Amino acid sequence: MSNFEEGFLEFTFSERWNVLKIDEHYDYRAGIEIVDNTKAVDFLGIFDHNELYFIEVKDFRGHRIENRDRLLKGELPIEIAQKVRDSLACIIGAYHRSNTPETWEPYAALLCNKHKRINVIFWLEESLPPLHPTLREKALASTRTKIFKQKLAWLTQYVLVCGNYKQIGLPEVTVKSLSRS
């Protein structure tokens, strides 16, 4: 099992996962990050040696109002699509230039195999109304997922917006909130 903290969340991936926290990896920091405005997703993952995952995490709990426009006006889907794009460039560049190409080879192999599934997961934590989301909230979530899929259609159709309110999309992963104190 692998544990990673991202903000006030802890992700625990089962042993069936191979996961990198890409923006903390030396090859990212010494490589593509030197290009201005380059950003990466939070995690790259491979599940069962067979499926590639790009995972971006945002924790808007307590910051819903400040981030409302980013969600509703389509800024966040563009931002995440750009992070996926830059992460793809990192995988290929690091595979070709790194002193440890074996780290990147499984990611590059899945990325370049058109018969393998590529998944993009946007893990969003929000301060939602208590207990059950209203129909309005469900409609907004559906619209949000549609916008993300549109921005990432150039790469994959497997795009999902989820979070603790809807823990699907990441097999054998548990996510728990950490104390904000």
Q: Specify if 36 maps to a domain.
A: yes
Q: Is the pLDDT of residue 31 over 60?
A: yes
Q: Specify if 50 maps to a domain.
A: yes
Q: Given this model, what pLDDT does residue 65 score?
A: 61
For 113-170, how does the pLDDT look when each residue is reduced to its tens digit (9 = 90+)? Answer: 999 999 999 998 876 655 555 555 555 566 678 888 999 999 999 999 888 766 678 9
**In whole numbers, what is the pLDDT of the chain averaged over residues?**
87
Which residues are CB-contacts of 84 (< 8 A; sequence separation ≥ 6)?
Answer: 41, 54, 56, 120, 152, 155
Q: Given this model, what pLDDT does residue 88 score?
A: 97
Q: Is the pLDDT of residue 111 over 90?
A: yes
Beta carbons of 165 and 133 less than 8 angstroms apart: yes
Distance between CA atoms of residues 48 and 42, nearest Å: 20
- Residue ranges with strand state E in the chain: 2-6, 9-13, 17-20, 43-47, 51-59, 118-125, 158-162, 173-177
Q: Which carries the bigger pLDDT value, residue 16 or residue 161?
A: 16
Q: Given this model, what pLDDT does residue 126 score?
A: 76
Q: Specify if 8 maps to a domain.
A: no
Q: Is the pLDDT of residue 99 over 90?
A: yes
For 65-76, how does the pLDDT look when each residue is reduced to its tens digit (9 = 90+)? Answer: 676 666 666 788
Q: Specify if 175 maps to a domain.
A: no
Intra-chain end-to-end CA distance of the chain, in Å: 26
Q: Structurally, how many domains does the chain consist of?
A: 1
Domain that holds residue 130: 14-167
Q: Is the pLDDT of residue 14 over 80?
A: yes
Q: Give the pLDDT band (50/70/90) at residue 27.
A: very high
Cross-strand bridge partners of residue 78: none
Q: Specify if 135 maps to a domain.
A: yes
Q: Which SS3 state, helix, strand or coil, does residue 37 take?
A: coil
Q: Specify if 180 maps to a domain.
A: no
Q: Specify if 176 maps to a domain.
A: no
Residue 146 identity: K
Q: Specify if 177 maps to a domain.
A: no
